[in-house]
Amino acid sequence: MRKCRRTKGERRRALVDAHLARVGKTMAENAPLFDRAVAVNAKFLIGLMVPPFALLLPRVFWRRPQPLAVHMVFALHFYAFFLVLFCVPLVVMDVSGLMGGPAVPPLLLDQVLSAALALACAAYLYVAMGAVYGTRGVARVVQTAVLIFPTTWIFLIYRVLLLPITLYTT
């Protein structure tokens, strides 16, 4: 007999239901506290994305050694760009909703936006690496490709951890 696996949405809902049962509140009663807590945690956890990325940089740029502070500033600058860039689809969705269109994009639009954001991040990395590390040519293209995947994973881990951390700290 095969075990039935729960979807991400079902796992999230189970976490929320367990939290509500633990604190003895309804979703409506808990929403204001949760919303404030998630806003605080989201800001705090953003800073936690920088060190893992900064620690990858010396391995990618091993031929051009730099102090760790340079890598930390580069990572911080990159994630600042990354987060501002991620605001663009939110504005697009809000404007769409105000104009009578769907506030939440259809799956295809979401996939196109995600790909566009990834390409914009890769373009930014490519330009920034040239300015900070002085890399050129094929090496710079390869380094960009190598770094775009960990940035995506670090962000996904951030997103996955945000809900349980917020639930268990409220």
With H, G, I as helix, E, B as strand and everything else as coil, classify residue 66.
Answer: coil
Give pLDDT, residue 29.
Answer: 84
Round to whole Å and give the CA distance between 130 and 11.
42
Residue 3 lies in a domain: no
- Which of 24 and 108 is assigned the larger pLDDT? 24
Residue 55 lies in a domain: yes
Residue 1 lies in a domain: no
Give pLDDT, residue 102.
Answer: 67
Give pLDDT, residue 89.
Answer: 75
The H-assigned helical ranges of the chain are 8-23, 27-46, 50-60, 68-98, 107-133, 137-169
* Angle, alpha carbons 52-56-60 (nearest 5°): 165
Residue 2 lies in a domain: no
pTM above threshold 0.75: no
Question: Alpha-carbon dihedral of residues 98, 103, 107, 110, nearest 10 degrees?
Answer: 70
Residue 150 lies in a domain: yes
Residue 128 lies in a domain: yes
Q: For residue 162, count CB atoms less than 10 angstroms from its CB and return exposed for 0-12, middle for 13-18, buried for 19 or more.
A: middle
- Whether residue 146 contacts residue 59, with contact meaning beta carbons closer than 8 Å, is answered with no
Expressed as residue numbers, the domain containing 138 is 8-169
Round to whole Å and give the CA distance between 120 and 83.
12
Give pLDDT, residue 4.
Answer: 59
- Whether residue 151 contacts residue 82, with contact meaning beta carbons closer than 8 Å, is answered with yes
Round to whole Å and give the CA distance between 42 and 155.
12
Residue 127 lies in a domain: yes
Round to whole Å and give the CA distance between 104 and 94.
9
Q: Could you report the per-residue pLDDT of 125-142, keeping only the tens digit for each? A: 999 999 999 999 999 999
Round to whole Å and give the CA distance between 38 and 26.
17
Give pLDDT, residue 104.
Answer: 63
Say what percent of the chain tops pLDDT 70. Answer: 91
- Total domains in the fold of the chain: 1
